[in-house]
Amino acid sequence: MRYGRYVGHLHNTAGRTLTVSDRKTSIMVTIDPSTRVEYRTCPLCEATCGLEITINDGAVGRIRGDRDDVFSHGFICPKGSTLKQLEADPDRLRVPQIRNGNEWRDATWDEAFELIAERMGSIIAEHGSNAVGVYLGNPNVHNLSGLLYNRVLLRSLRTQKIFSAATVDQMPKHVSSGLMFGHPDLIPVPDIDRTDYLLMLGADPYESNGSLATAPDWPGRLEAIKARGGKVVVVDPRRSKTAANASEHLAIRPGTDPLFLAAIAATLVDENLLAAQPDHHNRLDEAAAALVSFTAERVAPATGIDAETTRRIARELSAAESGVVYGRIGTHTVRHGTVASWLVDLINAMTGNLDRAGGAMFAKAAHEQPRSKRGFATGRWSSRVRSAPEVRGELPCSVMAEEITTPGEGQMKAMIIVAGNPVVSTPNADRLDEALDELDFMVSVDMYRNETSRKADVILPATSPLQRSHYDLAFYGLSLRNIANYSPAVLPLESEMEEWEILTKLSAMFSGAGPDADIAAADDATFGTYLQRMIDDPRSTIHGRDHADITSMIGDRRGPERYVDLLLRTGPYGDAFGSNPDGLTLASLEAEPHGIDLGPLEPRLPEALSTPDGLVDLAPQAILDDLTRLELAADDVPNGGYLLVGRRQLRSNNSWMHNLDVLVRGKDRCTLLIHPDDAVSVGVGDGGRAEVSSAAGKIVVTAEVTEDMMPGVVSLPHGWGHNKDGMAIAVASGTPGVNSNILADESDLDPLSGNATLNAIPVTVAAL
């Protein structure tokens, strides 16, 4: 018997004596009362790995992969175990901070809320609600509080100045999905566990562990495709680790993926390779007609991929038993991101791979709720200064700085930033950094005083991940298997406050309740309204049920747990509060600390569609209209300049985990990758200093000369540049790197989604 294997089952047994046996032996063990083992889904990236956390005397002992986790089976990356160091980081904020000039002091929660109530109250009274901007950063989507309570905060503020990391990330995918499938969250994922052929563009899951396609151990899953005789083709201007491990790597000129994809679609049409289409696929002919001019021969000079290769890939995709195209950051954070996103799903449809095993499929999350069939529209309002349209209720974060600095009606005077570091993560970072100084008041809800929160007047500390419960409301809807896993909080709160309580308090204050607002009462009221809306909804499994009855069945749960229980029980596998007695509840997940596997993805169309006509629109008009811009790009061939792209690194997590020594020690990783021929023409050697300039700004960085780069392309990771005054992140400041977003031009957007252009940025490179 291996003790290590069995410790996994000794859950909540501290202090008790147990008999543990296998077929041969039986032993008595007394569990050390000061030691316990907890299971927790890692909230750091989208892969949702299970962690096994040993707690000794109330402190984190060891963190390793949970071998019994139904999805990750023990896999973790080097970041998973660093929740231990994050917990212990002395720079992690534990009490509210108030700034007076350049001085910061600890404050009580009451003081902090009183100051916010007073200052925000007068700003809203004087300038109206649109004078308040909100930026929601990435960790919100890994946090039940953010996922369930930011909407409560936003509703109380009634501002149109809402921004998030989505417009430096995946917004193009939301738009193409909204236009094609009727709902921006109805995003198909590549069924890599069953596919025979994966064409992957602009993603590097060996470093990122996958995105908009949730699964632990992407590297293992990619290797399994090859092991079963399938093929993995990676399209990337850099020979990334993912590309190096693929069956084939195609180096593409940055920003030209939509041309390459259009040429694949055109080849499928031209060579009569279209698969038979189901009845619910609409307007394939219109899509085909709009793309025929983008022949492989025509786009080759722009993409750098020769026509014969493009045609061969189209043929291979169409011939594969099952095949799937998947595009991520490198296809989204570019000028034609929405067109590229649409082409990915269009090609999946053209080859008969949309909504079938081994193709692109839709997850069915345990908490999923019926979606409206109203369809999708953007532009319900626009930004004030440059009239950028609203998309999915928000404005592009590229307009934040100008909305602060341009005077006039509706000028932003205050900001609330929750779990975001836009001074590092968004375009023209230096301009935003300066613009934030012009605000009358700023609040950050954050774990650190870093590049962005140092500009706040008040920082409200978030809990550490281990101090809160977890269920992946965002990522089970994008999962490669249907999984449900709930983890209770591992460690108690000390001086922190639950983040959902912070957000509820702010919301109650902005609704006029004052700094003494009763959080529990406000939460009861919001939940009651939410539940009643469900009861009133004819599509809900609890339509017409008794409000008090449901409330009493939920019992004592409060905060996020109350919502999670409601969502699970009314979801597709739920107990529907008694109508389906064997169905899921939060209690049934609590009884399964390693999670529940609800099976592989299954076809869901047309039932899951949210379009008013119940059909997939393969040729949305807004996208066809945007092809005129792509026409221009087709004729834009290399002119001798350089294009800058980004990259992720296994031991980084966007901008905020560089304060953990275990993740940053070793050689400088914030380097400019450059091809040897380019290094010669620039006159910079390996380890030499290079100056990189763009329309937005200029940086100096160490060059790393490598054959991995496509000539004419240079690569810099994002999330660095921890060299600002007034921060309290000592470790990160010791290995600062440079901020690549100083070079990103905030005027360069994908017009359909408002997404920033963070890849394929024209730059000049010179030796220093």
Ligand X SMILES: Nc1nc2c(c(=O)[nH]1)N[C@H]1C(S)=C(S)[C@@H](COP(=O)(O)OP(=O)(O)OC[C@H]3O[C@@H](n4cnc5c(=O)[nH]c(N)nc54)[C@H](O)[C@@H]3O)O[C@H]1N2
- Closer by beta carbon to ligand X, 140 or else 526: 140
- From the list Mo ion, ligand SF4, ligand X, none, pick the one residue 246 interacts with, judged by a Cβ distance below 5 to 8 Å according to partner type: none
Least Å from the CB of residue 679 to Mo ion: 30
> How many Å apart are CA 591 and CA 357, to the nearest integer?
31
Whether residue 229 contacts residue 322, with contact meaning beta carbons closer than 8 Å, is answered with no
49's contact among ligand SF4, ligand X, Mo ion, none, with CB below 5 to 8 A by partner kind, is ligand SF4
Pairing of strands 414-418, 132-136: parallel
Task: Give which of ligand SF4, ligand X, Mo ion, none residue 748 binds (C-beta under 5 to 8 Å, depending on kind).
Answer: none
**Cβ of residue 217: shortest distance to ligand SF4, in angstroms?**
8
328 contact, one of ligand SF4, ligand X, Mo ion, none, CB 5-8 Å limit per kind: ligand X
- Measured from the CB atom, the residue of 447 and 690 that comes closer to ligand X is 447
Residues at the contact surface with ligand X, assessed by CB under 6 A: 45-46, 137-139, 143, 165, 168-169, 201-205, 207-209, 211, 235-238, 240, 252, 254-255, 257, 328-331, 333-334, 418-422, 425, 445-448, 450, 462, 499, 645-650, 652-656, 715, 718-719, 740-741, 744, 758-760
Q: Choose between 47 and 291: whose C-beta lies nearer to ligand SF4.
A: 47
Q: Which is nearer to ligand SF4, 652 or 702 (CB)?
A: 652
C-alpha torsion angle, residues 545, 549, 550, 555 (rounded to 10)? 180
- Residues near ligand SF4, by CB under 6 A: 42, 44-45, 47-49, 76-77, 79-80, 209, 216
To ligand SF4, the closest distance from the beta carbon of 83 in angstroms equals 8
Residue 607 beta carbon to ligand X: minimum distance, rounded to whole angstroms: 29
Sequence-separated contacts (24+) of 610-615 with Cβ below 8 Å: 610/181, 610/182, 610/183, 610/186, 610/371, 610/372, 610/373, 610/374, 610/375, 610/376, 611/181, 611/182, 611/373, 611/375, 612/182, 612/373, 612/374, 612/375, 613/282, 614/280, 614/373, 615/280, 615/281, 615/282
CA atoms of 3 and 494, how far apart (whole Å) = 33
169 or 523, CB closer to Mo ion?
A: 169
Among 200, 201, 331, 346, CA closest to 269:
346
> Which residue, 47, 70, 52, is CA-closest to 62?
52
283 vs 648 by CB, closer to Mo ion: 648
Residues 166-205 that bind Mo ion (CB under 5 A): 169
Q: How far apart are CA 707 and CA 677, in angstroms?
A: 9
d(CA 397, CA 750): 12
In whole angstroms, the minimum distance from the beta carbon of 558 to ligand X comes to 19
Cβ closest to ligand X, residue 84 vs residue 718 = 718
* Minimum CB–partner distance for residue 47 and ligand SF4 (Å): 4
User: Position 420: which residue type?
Assistant: G
Q: Which two tokens stand for residue 691?
A: 């100056």
Computed on alpha carbons and rounded to an integer, the radius of gyration of the chain in Å comes to 26
Measured at CB, which residue is nearest to ligand X?
330
Q: How far is the CB of 160 from ligand SF4 (least distance, A)?
A: 34
Nearest distance in Å: CB 714, ligand X: 11
Closest to ligand X by CB, 325 vs 550, is 325
Q: What are phi and psi for residue 226, nearest 5 degrees?
A: -65, -40
Give the separation between CA 56 and CA 14, rounded to whole angstroms. Answer: 11
Q: Closest distance between Mo ion and the C-beta of residue 432, in Å?
A: 18
In angstroms, what is the minimal distance from the CB of 595 to ligand X?
Answer: 21
Contact 662, 731 (CB under 8 A): no
**Do 299 and 256 meet the contact criterion of CB atoms below 8 Å apart?**
yes
The reply to whether 394 sits near Mo ion by the rule CB under 5 A is no
Write out the DSSP string of 75-117: ---TTGGGHHHHHH-TTS--S-EEEETTEEEE--HHHHHHHHH
> Taking the complex as a whole, how short is the minimal distance between the CB of residue 17 and ligand SF4, in angstroms?
33
Residue 42 binding partner per list ligand X, Mo ion, ligand SF4, none, with a CB distance cut-off of 5 to 8 Å that depends on partner kind: ligand SF4
Residues 17, 28 contacting (CB under 8 angstroms): yes
Give the nearer residue to ligand X in terms of CB position, either 424 or 752. 424
Buried b (16+ CB within 10 A) or exposed e, 690-707: bbbbbebbebebbbbbbe
Q: What is the distance between the alpha carbons of residues 363 and 204, in angstroms, rounded to a whole number?
A: 22
Q: Which is nearer to ligand X, 281 or 505 (CB)?
A: 505
Residue span binding Mo ion (CB under 5 A) among the ranges 65-73, 162-170, 236-244, 264-272: 162-170
Q: Which does 216 bind (CB under 5 to 8 A by kind): Mo ion, ligand SF4, ligand X, none?
A: ligand SF4
Q: CB 699 → Mo ion: shortest distance, Å?
A: 22
**Which residue minimizes CB distance to ligand SF4?**
80
Of 253 and 283, nearer to ligand X (C-beta) is 253
Cβ 250 vs Cβ 227: under 8 Å: no
DSSP-derived pairing of the beta strands 642-645 and 761-767: antiparallel
Smaller CB separation from ligand X, 162 or 645: 645
Beta-strand (E) ranges in 615-715?
A: 616-617, 642-645, 672-674, 689-693, 698-705, 713-715
447 in helix, strand or coil? coil
Shortest CB 559 distance to Mo ion, Å:
26
In the complex, residue closest to Mo ion by CB: 169
Q: 240 touches which of ligand X, Mo ion, ligand SF4, none (CB within 5 to 8 A by kind)? A: ligand X
What is the number of helices (H) and of strands (E) in the chain? 26, 32
Give 467 or 551: the residue with its C-beta nearer to ligand SF4.
Answer: 467
How far separated are the first and last CA of the chain, in Å rounded? Answer: 62
Place of tokens 């989507």: 141
CB 284, CB 615: distance < 8 Å: no
In the complex, least distance from residue 138 CB atom to Mo ion, rounded to whole angstroms? 5
- What is the helix (H) or strand (E) element at residue 263, kind and residue range? helix 257-270
Minimal distance, residue 16 CB to Mo ion, in Å: 43
Q: Which is nearer to ligand SF4, 44 or 616 (CB)?
A: 44
Q: Residue 209 or residue 353: which is nearer to Mo ion going by CB?
A: 209
| Residue (69 or 433) nearer to ligand SF4, CB | 69
Whole-angstrom distance, CA of residue 718 vs CA of residue 741: 7
168 binds, among ligand SF4, ligand X, Mo ion, none (CB under 5 to 8 A by kind): ligand X
Give CB contacts under 8 A, 24+ apart, made by 110-116: 110/515, 112/458, 112/460, 113/505, 113/509, 113/515, 114/515, 115/457, 115/458, 116/443, 116/458, 116/506, 116/509, 116/515
- Min dist CB 218 to ligand SF4, Å, is 8
657 binds, among Mo ion, ligand SF4, ligand X, none (CB under 5 to 8 A by kind): none
744's contact among Mo ion, ligand X, ligand SF4, none, with CB below 5 to 8 A by partner kind, is: ligand X
175 interface partner picked from Mo ion, ligand SF4, ligand X, none, CB below 5 to 8 A per type: none
- Length of the chain measured in residues: 768
Q: Which of residues 322 and 653 has its CB atom nearest to ligand X in the complex?
A: 653
List residues bridging with 98 in a β-sheet: 105, 458
Instruction: Compose the 104-123 pattern: x for residues touching Mo ion by CB under 5 A, - for all others.
Output: --------------------
Chosen from ligand X, Mo ion, ligand SF4, none, partner binding at 718 (C-beta under 5 to 8 Å by type) = ligand X
Minimum distance from residue 639 beta carbon to ligand X (Å): 17
**Where do contacts with Mo ion occur on this chain (CB under 5 A)?**
169
